[in-house]
Amino acid sequence: MEPLRVLELYSGVGGMHHALRESCIPAQVVAAIDVNTVANEVYKYNFPHTQLLAKTIEVLMEFPKVESVHPQKYTMDVENKIQEKNIEPNISFDSSTQCSGKDAILFKLETAEEIHRKNQQDSDLSVKMLKDFLEDDTDMNQYLLPPKSLLRYALLLDIVQPTCRRSVCFTKGYGSYIEGTGSVLQTAEDVQIENIYKSLTKLSQEEQITKLLMLKLRYFTPKEIANLLGFPPEFGMWDTCRIQLSCIKTLKNL
């Protein structure tokens, strides 16, 4: 059988390329395409002999442009999306949201069902603990969540501990956006998260920040996320990702 000739669309840092290599299927990635410059740097470092195109896939095919078919509707849709992204979440620690019943909120914005599901996932002994994927030779202070983010997004954070066996999916917005982009790690394992959140409702903002800082929450490092996603230890170029995350956090604090 002739080796497959593979065109890798939305190639990112090369996850599919690596999976294809590990599968031992006879194949050659003839080209990879992505517009993310940081991802492309990582891809080129790990797959230097693969042709990498910094283009969108639309420029390679006969797809009609949406804006040329319905220009007014396209403009309105774009403006609406921009407005939606600019809406700031108005979050407060309101004790009235804690109610009784099947969907009672225990702390944060989690229901009893969500807590039960997470506990079940953490009880699955066939899955490794997160601590098996963590770095121990890196300065983690640069990855700590700043007080402003803690106060503003405390109810939205998905918090895990090193002994957990689960996390939410990590997206390219991780480190730039909070909600739905990936879990954060509680490094103060001797602090009970339930106690921290249940005591917030009657505190001032300064006291809330003091309480939240006790959890020592931090982002996962790029290398740790790669470990969780199954990339091999030799998969490199993490300094580029570290610089990007550091820049994002710096800009957010300006």
Give tens-digit pLDDT for 151-164. Answer: 888 888 999 999 99
What superfamily would CATH give domain 112-220?
Answer: DNA Methylase, subunit A, domain 2 (3.90.120.10)
Torsion angle defined by CA atoms of residues 159, 163, 167 and 171, in that order, rounded to the nearest 10 degrees: 80
Least confident range from 62-71, 74-83, 87-96: namely 87-96
Grade residue 5 by pLDDT with cuts at 50, 70 and 90.
Answer: very high
Q: How far apart are CA 129 and CA 145, in angstroms?
A: 22
171-225 pLDDT, tens digit per residue, is: 888 988 888 899 999 999 999 988 898 878 788 999 999 999 999 999 999 889 9
163-183 pLDDT, tens digit per residue, is: 999 999 998 889 888 888 999
Domain ranges of the chain: 4-62, 112-220
Q: How far apart are CA 163 and CA 132, in angstroms?
A: 9
96 φ, ψ to 5°?
Answer: -70, -15
Grade residue 145 by pLDDT with cuts at 50, 70 and 90.
Answer: very high
Task: Judge whether 131 and 86 are in contact, CB under 8 Å.
Answer: no
